[in-house]
Amino acid sequence: MNLAAKMNVELARVASLPERDAKCLPGYFYTSPEYFAYEVDAVLSKEWHYVGRADEVPHPGDYFTTTLLGEPLLVVRGDDGIIRVLSNVCRHRGMPLAEGSGSTRRFVCSYHAWSYNCDGVLANAPRMRDKGVTSATCRLPEFRSETWQGFIYVNLDDNAVPLTPRLAQLQSLLENYRPLEMHIVHVAEEEWRTNWKCLVENFMEAYHLSVVHPETLHPYTPTGLSRKSMSDDAFTSYCANYPSDIPSRGRGASGLTAEERQRSTLFCLFPTQVASQAASLLVSFALKPIAADRIQVRWTMSTYGDDLTNHEIEERIALWNEVNREDREKLEKMQRALGSRHAPCGPLAPTDYEGTIWDFYRYLARKTEPPPL
Ligand code: FES
Ligand SMILES: [Fe+2]
């Protein structure tokens, strides 16, 4: 039995424990390069990944670039208004066609000037007329993508099962917040030296909130008020409830209940999107694994209507930067310790605090295959 198969037996064993006995996965699940390569091949390259918000590309020709599992991607709105995720690799000799974000009528390769329309079809290839390179024969490959509630998702697997039909329950959790009506105010990208699963688990557990974030989050979302919320095969979630005596943080959509206004709902759409949805603020992270101990994090912030002034938006961006710094410091230290021969398989905290991690393990176990006994 190879290493990944052995580890999957262990994963299946941990994931099958009753919730009251739930435990952490052994440290080598987070540090092994071989297991990371297996995860990319068996899980990540077949799953749907959040890449950005639709209103980052509001008009035809608007685009941004990103990289997912080594694939350079070009997310672009075509002249027909459709958002496509294209290969950002020129069909001549492989130069990336665009960097960063912007708006254009055509993508012109910086190397030999082949050019492509916004739907990926070749527009022109200088001096190639006799080589059979035409708009009929040459276009940028397109990846599977779906847009849901303003989130753009991509899947590198052409045979993937569609995502959106599986999101009915998550939809019911979020719909009053009207995420589709929120508008983007900030995009940032950074690299963290941690395993991708550690960041999923960290974002999705409330147990650390009051310890790691005593000044930034604890006053609004203390550990003790957090409650596990809905989950199914596609996602898990918890509600970070605010104390009743704190001032309003914006009204949000008119259909929100009083309880929904008084909390942030944190969810993970498996495997790599984690997000916090509140009345006036939506913060969503695209986790892009690079290696067992490295991850690229692209995060977006959106706000509802004109709930927040520019000054308040700047304050929220600063707050999230500080929260991210606090989490990152802890996760990068922990990553260095998880390779220890004494890395623990400690117990998970009760459902309201770490039950989401148990959901995540069960998702991972569903997506990996232990060999038959
Ligand atoms: S690599 Fe793009 S035109 Fe040559
Ligand atoms: Fe945190």
CA of 116 to the centre of ligand 1 (A): 11
> What pLDDT is recorded for position 124?
96
Residue nearest to atom 3 of ligand 1 (CA): 112
> What pLDDT is recorded for position 371?
63
- 174 burial type by CB count under 10 A (0-12 exposed, 13-18 middle, 19+ buried): buried
Q: Which among 87, 92, 99 is the best mutation to test ligand 1's pocket, defined by most ligand atoms within 8 Å of the CB?
A: 92
Q: Which among 99, 106, 109, 139 is the best mutation to test ligand 1's pocket, defined by most ligand atoms within 8 Å of the CB?
A: 109
Q: Is the CB of 111 under 6 A from ligand 1?
A: yes
95 CA closest ligand 1 atom index: 1
> Do 219 and 319 contact (CB within 8 A), yes or no?
no
* CA within 13 Å, CB half, 41: 8
Q: Could you give the CA distance from residue 250 to residue 314 in angstroms, rounded to a whole number?
A: 15
> Do 359 and 169 contact (CB within 8 A), yes or no?
no
Q: Is the CB of 366 under 6 A from ligand 1?
A: no
Count helices and strands in the chain by DSSP H and E runs = 9, 17
94 CA closest ligand 1 atom index: 1
pLDDT (tens digit, 9 = 90+) per residue, 108-165? 999 999 999 999 999 999 999 899 999 999 999 999 999 999 999 999 999 999 999 9
> What pLDDT is recorded for position 129?
84
Mean pLDDT, to the nearest integer, of 233-239?
98
Report the percent of the chain where pLDDT is more than 70. 99
**Cα separation values, 356 from 29, 97, 174, Å:** 18, 40, 17
Mean pLDDT, to the nearest integer, of 195-221?
97
pLDDT (tens digit, 9 = 90+) per residue, 241-294? 999 998 877 899 999 999 999 999 999 999 999 999 999 999 999 999 999 999
- pTM value > 0.85: yes
Asked if pLDDT for residue 175 goes beyond 90, the answer is yes
Residue nearest to atom 1 of ligand 1 (CA): 93
Q: Could you give the CA distance from residue 82 to residue 76 in angstroms, rounded to a whole number?
A: 8
Burial code of 298-317, b = ≥16 C-beta within 10 A, e = fewer? bbbbbbbeebbeeeebeebe
Compute the Cα dihedral for 7, 12, 15, 18 and give only its sign. Answer: negative
Helix (H, G, I), strand (E, B) or coil at 186: strand
> Do 97 and 89 contact (CB within 8 A), yes or no?
yes
Question: For residue 373, what pLDDT band results from cuts at 50, 70 and 90?
Answer: low
pLDDT (tens digit, 9 = 90+) per residue, 262-272? 999 999 999 99
91 CA closest ligand 1 atom index: 2
Mean pLDDT, to the nearest integer, of 225-253?
94
Ligand nearest to the CA of 207: 2
> What pLDDT is recorded for position 9?
94
Q: Is the CB of 5 under 6 A from ligand 1?
A: no
> What pLDDT is recorded for position 255?
96
pLDDT (tens digit, 9 = 90+) per residue, 300-353? 999 999 999 999 999 999 999 999 999 999 999 999 999 999 988 999 999 999
Mean pLDDT, to the nearest integer, of 29-56?
97
Asked if pLDDT for residue 201 goes beyond 70, the answer is yes
Mean pLDDT, to the nearest integer, of 201-208?
98
CA of 326 to the centre of ligand 2 (A): 7
Asked if pLDDT for residue 89 goes beyond 80, the answer is yes
Rounded to 5°, the CA angle 220-218-30 comes to 120
pLDDT (tens digit, 9 = 90+) per residue, 350-370? 999 999 999 999 999 999 977
